[in-house]
Structure 1
Amino acid sequence: MRRILWAALTVIAGGTASAQDVVTYAFDGSFDDATFGVESAIVGKGLVVDYVSHVGEMLDRTGKDVGSDVTIFEAADVFLFCSAVLSRKVMEADPSNIAHCPYGVFVAERGGMVEIGYRILPEGPMQEVQALLDSIAREASGQ
């Protein structure tokens, strides 16, 4: 198993995350195969993908508008979803955990390397959600 912390992915993980706030797993295959794997892993857990954010396309589309010609990712998507059971559990424990919902798993290709990952969540009740994110990322990446 290869576990890599990749600071650049914080662009799609959101917030002000740093390298130690993101977990990624290398994927031995194409970006399309990785996105299929992530969606399948989410659905396989009885969850529904609410939205797929095409962050890579947005960055490409808006680069010139913000004065940049840098290509950050060849492709990057974030899969957003929720678990009614886990969300209720963590928000009953602390309603401010709403800040972490919906949950996201991302797929990014950079420099010919495809990775699947997620943002690390806070200690306490959110660790159960993090375990779910990790199981999805591991399953999708074949780890």
Structure 2
Amino acid sequence: MKHLITAISLGLATTAYAEEAVTVPFDGSFEDAAFAVESAIVDKGLVIDYVSHVGEMLARTGADVGSDKMLFKEADIFIFCSAVVSREVMEVNPMNIAHCPYGIFVAENADGVVIGYRSYPEGEMQKVQDLLAGLVAEAVED
């Protein structure tokens, strides 16, 4: 039984890593992109629970883990939820809690600035993907 649980767990982990990111180039600075994303989220009446400064963490810890590779000049993830959309998708399947909260990232590397989010499974989670796509489109248009 223990091996069956391990095999199932490994299968689920593999599935989770199969998710892809949807990215949209941003014509402007990292700061402008971050402000545009924050504004798009707040303008929809949503509350940003946390901003994860992933770029700073990676820069700060690179030497500690034996790496000198710069992944991003800057990178932040805006973490938030939507009570309306979350309730809709969790009423269909309460295990959709696994996808909450939602995040939109802003990242700058040698290729420029991008805004993005993870893709979600087909079905009711497309409501979340539509929400994120709309917020990113609004941020890019500003």
Q: Same fold (TM over 0.5)?
A: yes
- In structure 2, the residue matched to 1:97 is 96
Q: Distance in 1 between matches of 2:141 and 2:109?
A: 19
Kindly state the Cα deviation for residue 25 of structure 1 after the two structures are TM-superposed: 0.7
RMSD (CA atoms): 1.3
The aligned residue for residue 4 of structure 1 is none
User: What SS class does the counterpart of residue 50 from structure 2 fall into?
Assistant: strand
Does residue 16 (structure 1) correspond to residue 17 (structure 2)? The answer is: yes
Quote the residue 2:4 is aligned against: none
Alignment of 1:65-104 (within 5 A): 65-104=64-103
Structure 1 residue ranges without an equivalent (≥5): 1-14
Q: Secondary structure at the match of 1:92?
A: helix
Shift of 1:142: 1.6
SS at match of 2:121: coil
The corresponding residue for 1:108 is 107
Shift in Å at residue 139 of structure 1?
0.9
| Structure 2: distance between partners of 1:89 and 1:28 | 34
Q: Which amino acid aligns with 1:16?
A: Y
Do structure 1's residue 117 and structure 2's residue 137 form an aligned pair?
no
SS at 1:52's partner residue? strand
Larger radius of gyration: 2
Could you tell me how far 1:112 is from its partner in structure 2?
A: 5.1
Give CA deviations for 1:54-91 in whole Å, capped at 9, x if unaligned: 00000001101100000000000000000011111111
CA distance in 2, matches of 1:33, 1:61: 23
TM-score when normalising by structure 1: 0.85
Q: Secondary structure at the match of 1:87?
A: helix
Alignment TM-score, normalising by the size of structure 2: 0.86
SS in 2 for 1:46: coil
3-state SS of the aligned residue for 2:103?
A: strand
User: 1:22-41, aligned counterparts within 5 Å?
Assistant: 22-41=21-40
CA distance in 2, matches of 1:16, 1:40: 30
Identity %: 65
Judged with a 3 Å threshold, the aligned counterparts in structure 2 of structure 1 residues 17 and 56 are, in CA distance, closer, same or farther, namely farther
Richer in helix (by share)? 2
Between the aligned partners of 1:17 and 1:52, the Cα distance in structure 2 is: 24
